Structure 1
Amino acid sequence: MAASPEGRFPRNRLHTVRPAPGPLGLALVVFEQPHGARGRVWSSLTGELGDDLPVPVSGDTVLTADGRWLVDLDDDGGSEVGTLVARRVDGSETRQLTPGRDPYVLRGLEAGADGAHVLATLVDEAGHHLVLIPLDDPSKARTIFSSVEEAWWGHLSADGALASVDTTEHNPGVRRAAVTVVDTATGDVVGVADDLPAGPVRAVRFSPSPGDPRVLLWTERSGYSRPAIWDPLTGARRDYELSDLAGETLVLDWSPERGEILVVHVDAGVHRLLCIDEQTGDARAVLDDAGSFADPDVASVWPYYWKSFLGGDGRPVVLTSSATTPLHARQVMTDGSVETVVKPAAVPPGRTFASVVTPSADGTPVHFWWATPAGGARGTIVEVHGGPNLVTVDTYRPELQAWLDHGFAVAALNYRGSVTFGQAYREGFWGGASDGEIADIDAAVGWLRGQGLADPATTFITGPSFGGHLSLLSVGRLPDRFAGALAVVAMADWEAAWAEVNPAIRKSWTGFLSMKPDGTADPRRIDEVLARFSAVSHVDDVTASVWLHQGRRDTRTPPTQAQRYVDRLREAGGDVVIDWFDAGHEPTGVEGMEVEFGRSLELVEATLAGRRWDGLPGLYEK
C-alpha cells in the first residue's frame, strides 16, 4: 500500500482544549496519539501546563472545576451508547455516575462551577433528560427536566441554582430550538427564550459570576447568527444586531467582568475573531491572522470540536488552525502581546486553500475550499463533510494535504445543510431527499471542470457519515461525474438502518426527514423520503467503483445497512469493497486516520491503473 509522506499525520497534534468552569481557569488539553488520545491540565491564570495524565481521555472528556475529576462516557469502544464514569486525574479511583440506569446517548455534559456536580444531557428510548449528578454521591442524581422532543446541551448557572437546555418541545417536530431554564431544586420552568416559529435560539453559557442568572444566547432573528444576553428571571434581553457585519457570527464565550463577548465572524467561509463590547456593541479584532478560530460540531457532547474561549480572567485563549498549520493554542496577555500555549505539530510545508462561491442549479450560492498540487493534477478529490449541520473550515486536514502531496486537486464542499452560512442555507436540506445537496455537488464539479479539473475518469468523491451518504448517492445520481466513491461510516440504506440507529439520531432525523418546504412537519412523509434518500435505491445506475469503511460498533450508521448496500451493488454487477474496523463512528487515533488514507490512495491508484477494486485484498487481511 502506498504511504502518505513522512510527518503528514503527526502523532502529537493538538486535538482540542476543553475549559473547565470556575475561578481556577483550568482546562483539559487533549492531544492525538497513534491509538486514542492523551490529556494534560493547563491553567489559563498561571500558564502552567501539567504532565500527561495517567487516565484515558477523549475529545468529549470534561474536567471538573477543581481539577480533581475527569468525566466521560464509557461506551464499549465507540458505540456512543454507554454510561458516565468519573476518574480521578491521578488514576486512583473510577466512579460510576449513573448506577442502575440503562445505557444512553450523551448530548451534553457540563461540570458545575462548584466542582461538586455535573449536568448530563442524556437520550434514551423514553426521551431527552437533564440529570444533575453529585460527584461525591451519584446515588442522589436527579432528573430535573425531561422531554419526548429533542433537548440538547444543558448548562448550569455559576451558583448551580439554574439550568438551561435547548429544546424543540415548544415547536414539536421542527428543529428550531428555544431555550428553557429550570430551577435545579424543583425542576420548575422559570423562563423560556424563543424566536419561534421562524427562528431558533440556543444557549451558549450562563454568566460565570455567582448570583448572575443571565444567559449568553445565539439567535437568528436576522437569518444569521448573532449574540444576545437574556435574564430568564426578568425576561430582559439585549440583542446585538452587528448590522455592519455581513454573514454569520459564531457566539463563543462571554466575560461580564470585562464586558466582552467573544465571537467568530464568518463571511464566505473566512473567519475573523472578534470581541464585542457588551455595553456599546462595538467590535474589535482579537487577531488578524488567517485561518479558523472554531470548528462547529453537531450531534455530539459539545457544540464545537474545538473553539477559542475566554480564560479564567477573561483574556482570550485563541485556538487556531489553517490549511497548512495544525491546531495550536495562544493566549492574549494583559499588555496585548500573544504567547503560545501549545505549539502546532510539525508537518511538511503544505498548500493553501482558496475560498470559492459558485451558484447551484437553482441559484443558491455554494461554498467550497480548493487547492491544486504543484506541477499539475493527476486527478481530483471532491470531499463532502458529515453532519449535515457541520462545515469545512480553513483548518489543517492531513488527508487533504496528503492528496495534494500525491498529485490530486482537492475541493472540500460546504453543500446546503452546512452551518455558518445562515439559517436558510443550514435548513436547505430539510425534507428534500438530498436533491439540493446533489445539485450543489454537481455545481462544484462543474466549476472545477471549468478550471481544467474533474475529468470523470479521474475524479473521486469522499466523505464520512452524511458525507459518506452523499458520496454513495452521488455515484448513483451523478454517474457521469465520478470514477469512484470513498465512503466512510456511510448511511447507505436509511430504511434498513432506521430501527437500529441510536435514539438520539433517530429523533433528529425524524424531524429532518418529515419537514415540508413550508417549514412544517409531516411524519407521514418519512417512509416516502427514506426510499429516495437511500443510496441503495440507485445501485442500478452506479458505474463507479465504491469503497465503504465501516465500524462494527457504529450506532449512527449501523453495520447491517452498509452490508445490505454492498450486497445489492454486487448483485447489480458493481465494483464494490467493504472494510470493517473494530470501533464506532470513526477509526480511533492518528494511526487509524493514516491507514484509512492509505487505503483510499491504494484504491484511487488502482483506478488510474485500470484495475477494479473488488480484486484487491481486504485492508485488514494484509
Structure 2
Amino acid sequence: MTTNWQRFFTADRPLAVRRGRGPGDRSLIVVESEDGPRLSLWDAGSGTVRPLGGLTSGDLAQAVLSHDGEHILALHDDNGSEVGHLHTTGLDGGDSRDLTPDLPPYTLRGIDVAGRADRAVITCAAEDGFSLWLLSTDGSADPEPLFRSPHEAWNGLVSADGTRACVDTTDHNPGIRRFAVTVVDTATGQVLDRLTDGPEAPVRGVRFSPVPGDDRILVATERTGFARPCVWHPTRGTRIDVEAPHVRGDLVPLDWSEDATRILAVHVDGGIHRVMEADLESGALRLLDHPPGAYFEPDVADTLCHQWASHYGPGRTLRLLHQRFDSPLRVLHADGPDSAPVPQLFPQLDLDGVRCTSTAVRSADGTHVQLWWARPRHAKGPVPLVLQLHGGPNLVTVDRYDPAAQAWLDNGVAYAALNYRGSVTFGRRFREGFMPAIGDRELEDIEAAVHRLVADGVADPDKVFVTGASYGGFLSLLSMGRLPGLFAGALAHVPMADWLAGYEDMNPALRAAWSSFFRAKPEDGLERFVRASPITYVADVVAPVWINQGTHDTRTAPKQVRLYEEALRAAGGDVVVDWYSGGHETTGRAKALAEQSRMLDLVHAALRQRPWSQGPL
C-alpha cells in the first residue's frame, strides 16, 4: 500500500505556548523542527513572532522565560541524560551562564519564575535527596537553599514578588506519593505552613497569585477522590474550595486571571475535555464555549506540570491551547467567559487526518478504562491494529495531534491508545490502581482493550501489535511474556526490561518514585521487582520484539536493555535493538519520521511472517 503518510511529519509543529511571568505579554513557543525543539518569542502586544535561532543547546522543550523576557532558562545536560545544571541564555543564544555552578549535577523537577522580581526557584533531585533553591535569574547572587528532604519533593513555585515559595512534599507521608504543599519564606528559608488533606488525599501546587503581595496559592486537592481547584491563603490559614458536586470526574485547575478573581480549569470525564471557569467572588462555575478536543496535557513527573496548557492572557482574556488527534496545536483567543474563542495563533492545518473516538472498556475486575480508537478510512471488516500505551505511568493520552497515529491509519492499520490504570485525570483510585503489583492491573486492562477491539470488528485478532515509550515500552515487553499470543509483535521505545538492573542505574528522582510505586526497594521487595520484569518471562515470548533505546538514558538505562536482548535471544526469541545517541526521548521530525518508517517496515514484515532479526525485506 503506497501512501503519502510522511505529510503528517513534514511541517514545523507547535508543541507548547508558555506565557512568561514577567511584565508585558511575551510567550515562549516550542516548535518541533527537523532536528529537535526550537524556540520562538511571541510578543502578543505587537503581534510579532521572532524565531530564536541561536538557541541550540539545553532542554528547550522544558525551557521558560526569565523575569525580564530577555533570557531562556533551561537545563543543560549530557546528550539528553536529564542530569546537569540550569543555565540562563540570551535570546540570541549568547551570554550563556550556569546559574548553579557549585551544585552537584541534578535532575530538574520543577522551575518557576517570579512575575515581579528577579527571582526563580528550582526543585532538584540528586544523590543526597530533594531540594528547593532560590536563584537570581541574572546570576548576580549565589543560589540559596530553601528546603531539603530525603523524601520526594517536586514542583517548586514562587510568588509574584519573590517573597514566598512552595514545594510539593511527602515528609508527612514518607515513601508514598501523596503530596502536601509546604510554604517557605524566601528571605529566611523558614517553613511557614503546610497544607495537607491527610494521608489519603494529596494536595499539589499550581501557581501563586499573579498579584504582587498576594501570597495565596492555587492548588489541586483530592478530598473527594477527584481533582478540584482550591485557593489557599497560608498567611491567614483559610481556603476556598471549588467543590463542584455536580461534576463527575477530575476538575483540573490550570491558571488564574491576572486580577486573581477567576480560575481556569478543565473538566475531564472519560477522557473528554470541557473547559470551565470558576468565579472566586460569586462561587459560580460555568462551562466555556469551545470546540471539541484537548486543552492541556499533564506531565506531572517532569520539570513542568504540563507539557502544554491553556491559560489566561491580559485582563480576563483567555488563551485556549487546542488540538485533536487530526489537528495540531493552535491558540484560540476569547475576550472573556461569554466570548466565543477565535483562532489567534497558528492556522488549523488540514492534513486530511482521521479523528479518534473515545470508548469505555470494562476490565477484568469491572473497572472501566478509557480507550481512543480509529479505523482507517474505507476499511471494511477487521484490519491490522497498533495499540499505543503511554509512558509514565502517571501520564495520559489526550485528544492531541499524533502524526504516528495518522501514519498508521494512512497505511491501512487501525490505531488505538489505552489509558490503563495508573493514568492521570481519572481520579486518585484509578491513578494509584497499578500499585504495588506493577504490571498486573495494566495487563488486565490491555487484554480487555484488545478483546473489545476484536469483538467490535475493528482488529484482526492475529494482527494486533503493541507499542509504547518508557512505561508504555515496559508494558509492551511485559505483554509479550505474560500475554503470549495476544500480540503479533512489540515495538518498544526506551522500555524498562529489567527492574533490578534498571533501578541501579536510574537517576535519583526515578529511584525515589519507583520505590514509592513498588512500596519497597529491591532489597526489601525482591519478588515484586522480579515479577514485574519482562526479562523474567523471555522463555514465553512467541512474537518478535523491536527495541529503540538511547545511549544516555537515565530513566530506563542501557544496561538493562542489553541484558534483556541477550536473554531473549538466548531463549530463541526474535529480537532487534536499534540504538541512538541521546537520552530518554528522541526529538525532531527527522528522527520521528525515521522511527515511524522503521515501525511500518517491521509490521509489514511480521504480516508476511518474516522474522525481524533477518533484517529489511
State how far apart, in whole Å, the 2-side matches of 1:609 and 1:137 are: 60
Deviation at 1:337, TM superposition (A): 5.1
Match of 1:329 among 327, 331, 341: 331
- 2:404 equivalent to 1:404: no
Distance 2:345 2:7 in 1: 18
1:50-449 matched pairs, under 5 angstroms: 50-56=50-56, 58-114=60-116, 116-137=118-139, 140-255=142-257, 257=259, 259-333=261-335, 336=339, 338-344=341-347, 346-376=349-379, 377-449=382-454
Shift in Å, 1:313: 2.6
Tell me the alpha carbon deviations over residues 515-558 of structure 1, each in whole angstroms, 9 at most, x when there is no partner.
7xxxxxx8865322110110000111100100000000100000
1:604 corresponding residue in structure 2? 603
Q: One-letter code of the match for 1:167?
A: T
Q: Which range moved further: 42-51 or 450-459?
A: 42-51
Question: Does structure 1 conserve the Cα–Cα contact (< 8 Å) formed by 2:290 and 2:341?
Answer: no
> 1:25 — aligned with what?
25
User: Match of 2:92, SS?
Assistant: coil
Partners of 2:250 and 2:287 in 1: CA distance: 16
**One-letter amino acid matched to 1:464:** A
**Aligned equivalents of 1:458, 1:105: Cα separation in 2:** 40
- Whether the 8 Å CA contact 2:2–2:411 is kept in 1: the answer is no
C-alpha distance 106-441 of structure 1, shift in aligned 2 (>3 A): same
Conservation of the 8 A alpha-carbon contact between 1:13 and 1:345: no
The residue that corresponds to 1:12 in the other structure is: 12
Unaligned runs of 5+ in 2: none
Return the letter of the residue paired with 1:38.
R
CA distance in 2, matches of 1:333, 1:238: 26
How far apart are 1:4 and its partner, in Å? 5.8
The one-letter amino acid paired with 2:153 is A
C-alpha distance in structure 2 between counterparts of 1:117 and 1:617, whole Å: 54
Q: 2: CA distance between counterparts of 1:324 and 1:224?
A: 29
1:139 offset after TM fit, Å?
5.2
Output the CA distance in 1 between the equivalents of 2:137 and 2:403.
39
Identity of aligned pairs, percent? Answer: 44
Partner of 1:499, secondary structure, is: helix
What is the Cα deviation at residue 102 of structure 1? 1.7
Q: Contact 2:22 / 2:69 at 8 angstroms: preserved in 1? A: no
Aligned AA for 1:361? A
Partner of 1:504: 509
TM-score by length of 2: 0.96
Paired residues of 2:258 and 2:312 also in contact (CA < 8 A): no
Residues 39 and 53 in structure 1, CA contact (< 8 A), matched pair in contact too: yes
Displacement after TM superposition at 1:80 (Å): 0.3
Deviation of 1:48 after TM superposition, in Å, equals 3.5
SS at match of 2:514: helix
Structure 1 gaps of 5+ residues are 516-521
Look up the match of 1:43: 43
Structure 2 counterpart SS, 1:480: coil
Partners of 2:474 and 2:492 within 8 A in 1: yes
- The yes-or-no answer on 1:531 pairing with 2:537 is no
Q: Aligned with 2:481: secondary structure? A: helix
Give the partner amino acid of 1:36: G
How far the C-alpha of 1:345 sits from its partner, in A, is: 6.2
1:140-190 CA distance string (max 9 Å, x none): 111111111111110001111100000111100111000000001111111
Alpha-carbon separation, structure 2, partners of 1:258 and 1:115 = 18
Q: 1:181 to 1:127 in 2, by over 3 A?
A: same
Q: Distance in 1 between matches of 2:340 and 2:568?
A: 58
Distance 1:570 1:173, change over 3 A: same
CA separation of 1:35/1:345 partners in 2, compared to 1, >3 Å: closer, same or farther?
farther
Residues in 2 aligned to 1:528 and 1:2: alpha-carbon distance in whole angstroms: 48
Shift of 1:617: 5.1
In structure 2, what is the Cα distance between the partners aligned to 1:300 and 1:141? Answer: 21
Paired residues in the alignment total: 612
Contact 2:5 2:406 (8 Å CA) reproduced:
no
Q: Distance between the aligned counterparts of 2:580 and 2:117, measured in 1? A: 38
Q: For residues 323 and 132 of structure 1, what CA distance do their matches in structure 2 show?
A: 39
Distance 2:459 2:50 in 1: 48
Structure 2 vs 1, CA of residues 578 and 100 (structure 1 numbering), >3 Å: closer, same or farther?
Answer: same
Contact 1:44 1:311 in 2 (8 A): no
Shift, 1:20, TM fit: 1.3
Alignment of 1:593 onto 2:596: no
Counterpart CA distance in 1 for 2:21 and 2:371 is: 36
The residue number in structure 1 matching 2:486 is 481
Q: Cα RMSD (Å) of the superposition?
A: 1.8
Q: Which amino acid aligns with 1:392?
A: T
Q: Is the 8 A contact 1:325 1:344 kept in 2?
A: no
Aligned equivalent of 2:471: 466
**One-letter code aligned to 2:530:** A
CA contact (8 A) 1:22 1:208 kept: no
How far, CA to CA, are the matches of 2:96 and 2:161 in structure 1?
26
Deviates more, 1:5-14 or 1:30-39: 5-14
State the shift of 1:433 in Å. 2.4
Q: Secondary structure at the match of 2:409?
A: helix
- The alignment partner of 2:48 has SS state of coil
Q: Give a deviation string over 1:194-234, Cα, whole Å, max 9, x none.
A: 11211100010000111111000100000100000101112
Contact 1:98/1:139 (<8 A) preserved = no
Identify the residue that residue 551 of structure 2 maps to in structure 1: 552
CA distance in 2, matches of 1:250, 1:344: 27
Conserved? CA contact 2:6–2:593, under 8 Å: no
Amino acid at match of 1:461: V
Pair 1:564 & 2:563 matched: yes
TM-score, with length taken from structure 1: 0.95
Name which of structure 1's ranges 329-338 and 126-135 shifts more when overlaid on structure 2: 329-338
* Cα distance in 2 for residues equivalent to 1:525 and 1:446: 36
**Residues 1:347 and 1:115: Cα distance change in structure 2 (over 3 Å):** farther
> Does the 8 Å CA contact 1:456/1:480 hold for their aligned counterparts?
no
The 8 Å contact of residues 154 and 164 in structure 1, kept in 2 or not, is answered as yes
CA contact (8 A) 2:266 2:276 kept: yes
What is the one-letter code of the residue matched to 1:459?
V
Q: Distance in 2 between matches of 1:328 and 1:160?
A: 32
Say if 1:368 and 1:413, in contact at 8 Å, map to a contact too. yes
For structure 1, which segment, 569-578 or 34-43, has the greater mean C-alpha deviation from structure 2 after superposition? 34-43
Note the C-alpha offset of 1:258. Answer: 6.0
Describe the superposition over 1:401-422 as per-residue Cα deviations: whole angstroms up to 9, x where unpaired. 1100011111100000000110
Deviation, structure 1 residue 498: 1.0
Change (3 A) 1:2 1:152: farther
Counterpart of 2:72, as a letter, is: L
CA distance in 1, matches of 2:607, 2:258: 58
Check the 8 A contact 2:30/2:40 in 1, yes or no: yes
Aligned 8 A contact 1:10 1:346 in 2: no
Question: Which range moves more in the overlay, 54-63 or 582-591?
Answer: 54-63
Deviations 1:296-327 (A, max 9, x none): 11321011110001123341111010111111
Q: What whole-Å deviation, never above 9, does each CA across 1:551-578 have from its counterpart, x for those lacking one?
A: 0010000000001101100000000000
